[in-house]
Amino acid sequence: MASKNVIQLNELNFDAEVLSSKEPVLVDFTATWCAPCKMLSPIVDQYADETVGKVKVAKLDIDEARAISAKFGVQAVPTLMVFQGGQRTRQHTGVMRKDQLARFVSGED
């Protein structure tokens, strides 16, 4: 079950939730048919629960938001991106452990 601390993104709320956010935003570009995405999902959910008020965590289904996925050049899933001040600052494709995810988001990777 998805965490209540993870925002479900779509083409209507992406700009407001991600690009206009005052806090850093981790976006998990995912797909329902993607096995590695299913492995990463609980890790992202747990990270969201542990970083409430510090980092906004969101998921975007690439099949439901093709224009946004294309805009940011998502060619494989899962793809994780960190946005700060409306700009993409980091990107990673593939599964990672929670400790790796924390370092990735903080820029320590």
Please report whether residue 55 resides in a domain. Answer: yes
The number of folded domains in the chain is: 1
37 as an active site residue: the answer is yes
Marked catalytic residue, from 6, 34, 55, 62: 34
Marked catalytic residue, from 9, 18, 37, 68: 37
* pLDDT the model gives residue 108: 85
Please report whether residue 22 resides in a domain. Answer: yes
Please report whether residue 29 resides in a domain. Answer: yes
Alpha-helical runs (H) found in the chain: 14, 35-50, 66-71, 98-106
Tell whether omega for the bond before 36 is within 30 degrees of 0, i.e. cis. no
Please report whether residue 1 resides in a domain. Answer: no
Q: How confident is the model at residue 37 (pLDDT cuts 50, 70, 90)?
A: very high
For the whole model, what pTM was predicted? 0.96
Q: Can you give the residue range of the structural domain that contains 72?
A: 6-106
Q: Is the pLDDT of residue 1 over 70?
A: no
CATH number (domain holding residue 38) = 3.40.30.10
